[in-house]
């Protein structure tokens, strides 16, 4: 890894990373602030959920109802808001770190220094993963702060399940970031890279959503990395987080490795 490049890229992108981190922290604190009011009416809300079509319940990850804090946020936050937030972050930063530099000609200056393409690309990948890790760490810390401020010992909260939710969420977006990084490493045009990465990422998200609505098209989830992240099951103590995390890790590593290898061998318009 090129340490000076890593420091410079972190400095350039720290404001954007911080915006996403504090945005995520704000939303999860809002969830914790809202929960006491939700908990008082949890019986009525659970009856409402039970009356909903199964496809709707599955699509919005509210199978666990509202009996505990982690069950509530698994559907309201980890089922929709966080995936959208981190999908956008992964797409934007991966494009800025690779395709944008090639498109603007800045990559030529990086490669003119005494370093290799592989080191430059690996360093950019580390910047992307570090950004994701910082966002999830801030989100986790904000969750525990929210528990201390708004929940206390009045309502059930399983800290280990909450940490597990964030850990598997990180692995999901490690995989999404790896795919986006590969696309960006192959592209000379920033807008094209962003468009292709967006189509792949939100295509997978849409396939997972559609597959949850009806059993007849559940097979669509087989081609989506998002299907491996099942927040409601994790919040309820179910699922298989070890297998899901291992598969997502392999997808992410394959994406980053392929991106580094492809960038080493391709012709660049420098």
Return the closest-CA partner of residue 266 out of 171, 191, 184, 196.
184
Is residue 167 assigned to a domain? yes
Domain membership of residue 141 (yes or no) is: yes
Residues 6+ apart with CB under 8 A from 125: 181, 256, 259, 260
Could you list the pLDDT tens digit for every one of the 270 residues in the chain? 888 888 889 999 999 999 999 999 999 999 888 887 766 655 544 554 554 555 545 545 555 555 667 777 877 788 888 988 999 999 999 999 888 888 787 777 777 777 888 888 999 999 999 999 999 999 999 999 988 888 877 777 788 888 999 999 999 999 999 999 999 998 888 889 899 999 999 888 888 777 777 667 777 777 788 888 888 788 777 778 899 999 999 999 999 999 999 888 877 665
Domain of 43, in residue numbers? 3-265
Q: Would residue 151 count as lying in a domain? A: yes
Residue 110 lies in a domain: yes
Going by the DSSP 8-state scheme, the letter that residue 220 receives in this structure is G
Q: Residue 169: what pLDDT? A: 93
DSSP assignment letter at 253? H
- The pLDDT value recorded for residue 41 is 56
Q: Which residues contact 38 (CB under 8 A, 6 or more apart)?
A: 45, 66, 72
Residue 270 in any domain: the answer is no
The total of structural domains in the chain comes to 1
Q: What are the angstrom distances between the C-alpha of 116 and each of 123, 232, 260, 261?
A: 11, 44, 11, 12
pLDDT of residue 74: 79
Measured distance CA(158)–CA(169) in Å, rounded: 17
pTM given for the model: 0.86
Residues 6+ apart with CB under 8 A from 81: 27
């Amino acid at each position: 890894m090129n340490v000076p490049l890593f420091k410079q890229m972190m400095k350039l992108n720290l404001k954007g990373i911080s915006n996403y981190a504090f945005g995520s922290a704000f939303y999860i604190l809002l969830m914790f602030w809202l929960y006491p009011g939700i908990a008082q009416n949890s019986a009525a809300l659970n009856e409402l959920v039970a009356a909903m079509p199964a496809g709707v319940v599955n699509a919005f990850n509210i199978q666990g109802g509202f009996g505990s804090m982690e069950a509530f946020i698994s559907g309201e936050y980890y089922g929709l808001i966080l995936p959208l937030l981190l999908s956008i972050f992964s797409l934007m930063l991966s494009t800025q770190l690779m395709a944008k530099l090639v498109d603007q000609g800045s990559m030529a200056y990086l490669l003119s220094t005494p370093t290799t393409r592989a080191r430059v690309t690996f360093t950019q990948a580390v910047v992307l993963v570090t950004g994701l890790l910082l966002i999830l760490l801030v989100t986790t810390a904000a969750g525990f702060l929210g528990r201390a401020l708004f929940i206390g010992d009045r309502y059930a909260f399983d800290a280990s399940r909450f940490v597990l939710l964030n850990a598997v969420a990180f692995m999901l977006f490690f995989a999404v970031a790896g795919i986006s990084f590969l696309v960006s490493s192959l592209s000379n045009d920033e807008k094209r890279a962003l468009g292709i990465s967006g189509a792949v990422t939100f295509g997978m998200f849409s396939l997972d959503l559609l597959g949850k609505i009806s059993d007849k098209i559940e097979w669509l989830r087989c081609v989506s990395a998002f299907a491996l992240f099942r927040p409601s099951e994790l919040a309820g103590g179910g699922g298989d987080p070890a297998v899901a995390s291992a598969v997502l890790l392999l997808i992410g590593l394959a994406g980053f490795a392929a991106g580094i290898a492809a960038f080493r061998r391709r012709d660049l318009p420098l």
